[in-house]
Amino acid sequence: MSLPAHGRPAEEILDALRALREEDLPTHGGKLFAYVYDPGLADLDELTLRAHGLSAATNGLDPTAFPSLLRMENDIVAAAAGLLGGDRATVGNVTSGGTESVLLAVKAARDARPDVTAPRIVLPSSAHPAFAKAGAYLRVALDVVPVDPQTLRVSTVDIENAIGPDTVLVVASAPAYPHGVLDPVPAIAAAAARHGVRCHVDACFGGWLLPFWRELGVAGEAFDLTVPGVTSISVDLHKYAYCPKGVSVLLHRTAQLRAPQYFGYAGWPGYGLVNATVASTRPGGPIAAAWATLQRIGHDGYRTLAARTLEATRGLHEAVRAVPDLRTLLPEPESSVVAFTGGSTVDVFVVADALAAQGWHIQPQMAFDGIPRTAHLTVTAAVAPHVASFAGALDAAVAAARAAGPAIAELPPLDPAALTPDTVARMAAALGLDLAAGHPTQGMAGINAVLDAAPVAVREKLLTAVLDLLQRPSPQL
């Protein structure tokens, strides 16, 4: 596509967009168990679209120019603080997503300690890659503490032993994304506090769900700002607050803890710049859409959605446990994740393809450090009416996978440094990944098996090379 010589009619453009969207996975209907969070509320999209539109042209760069955005941001932060154990001292910001919230928590922790020249963070191996990304962007080293491959839980003693004089932050997740396990936040935060180190709770995934599960009587350790030693917490509103994409919240226990998060600059002949977030020009649309969503659903609405999610999670967990060839990673779900693996009789990557052929999309996860390869299901409220239907599809998929046998990964020893774009393009083509179309022509099982067989450094190199090959300008028409 090149820039059209003359502007096109609006309807024609929208038709073209609709045609493009047909290739995408379904964002609604509860059949996609990753990436999207569907509350299954019929009238919500119309409201968020209109709220987004009303504020789409505004810019959060300067809150005095657009006080509506400042007001909405402060309202959203207040709602998050109310849900996550904040008090009058709590402050926070709306960010563009969980990764940005994490990046800013790491930046604040690093810059609070100018005395430390080689800062480090301590985190369980199940923590989200956003922390590794923050470490890479901000030159903060990671001390990764492995989780037990059986229990998927981190030992608090190991966490505490990893804390050293250069540690600026300790991380706990509520829950960790891969298997939905809640880290022991009270013990981890206490360990951090004993060493005078900040503790960030990554509740990006569970922060807008678990407080409502607690109201519904689900037991679980405390993880929010009521826990002594927790200094900051993040929650993604574009996950279980069911807001359109582009909104997360980072809370700090006090304004003093937030201070090093800011970046101010006046050493140029232009406007005085001060930002709390990574972006300077900040789109108002997502903030307005989130603000509208929180008010439309309300506390009782979120509790109802959380109840549906709980019922669906338990239902899916039982459905998986009813299949003899499959094994759930946890005896009981601790949050809205169901993760399962196959035994010797079926390959979960092949099961994933067989489910996709029936319109159900689960997320394959690679084996890591003694933890087997798994299928991950993020469960949302929209799944509740479809549990029985999923169970039927799963039975059929497992039967198909048993008949098909495992995906075979023929992987020569690869030196990550020697992998060229040409080699990767040839491998992708051999595995049926059409780089021009941007999607696989057959199942993903072969590709996933290759990634699974590869050492971590090779996985990273392969994934990066494929994305680099996909992200090339469209051919000129």
Ligand X SMILES: *Cc1c(COP(=O)(O)O)cnc(C)c1O
Is residue 201 at the binding interface for ligand X, with CB under 6 A as the rule? no
Q: According to the binding rule CB under 6 A, does residue 128 interact with ligand X? A: yes
Chain centroid to CA 1: 32
d(CA 90, CA 353): 46
Binding residue for ligand X, selected from 205, 302, 349, 390, defined by CB under 6 A: 205
Backbone angles phi, psi at 377, to 5 degrees: -120, 115
Q: Which listed residue (73, 183, 202, 325) binds ligand X by CB under 6 A?
A: 202
Phi-psi region of 76 (alpha: psi -120 to 50; beta: other; left: phi over 0): alpha
257 Cβ neighbours under 8 A, 6+ residues apart? 108, 112, 198, 231, 232
> Which of residues 38, 73, 160, 236 is near ligand X by CB under 6 A?
236
183 counts as binding ligand X under rule CB under 6 A: no
Residue 178 found at the interface with ligand X (CB under 6 A): no
Helix (H) or strand (E) holding 265: strand 263-265
| Residue 335 interacts with ligand X (CB under 6 A): yes or no | no
Question: Considering only residues 204, 292, 320, 339, which one is a binding residue for ligand X as defined by CB under 6 A?
Answer: 204
Asked if residue 293 binds ligand X (CB under 6 A), the reply is no
Interface with ligand X, residue 177, by CB under 6 A? yes
* Closest separation in Å from C-beta 302 to ligand X: 18
CB-based contacts of 312: which residues, under 8 Å, 6+ apart? Answer: 30, 379, 380, 381, 383, 384, 387
Residue 324 Rama label (left phi>0; alpha psi -120 to 50; beta): alpha
Q: Candidates 55-63, 74-82, 197-205, 399-407 — which segment interacts with ligand X by CB under 6 A?
A: 197-205
442 in Cβ contact with 398 (< 8 Å):
no
Binding mask 244-263 for ligand X (x = CB under 6 A): ----x---------------
Size of the site for ligand X (CB under 6 A): 13
Query: Taking CB under 6 A as the rule, does residue 372 contact ligand X?
Result: no
Residues 74-113 that bind ligand X (CB under 6 A): 97-99, 102
Whether the upstream peptide bond of residue 175 has omega within 30° of 0, thus cis, is: yes
- Is the CB of 133 or the CB of 402 nearer to ligand X? 133
**Footprint on this chain of ligand X (rule: CB under 6 A):** 97-99, 102, 128, 130, 173, 177, 202, 204-205, 236, 248
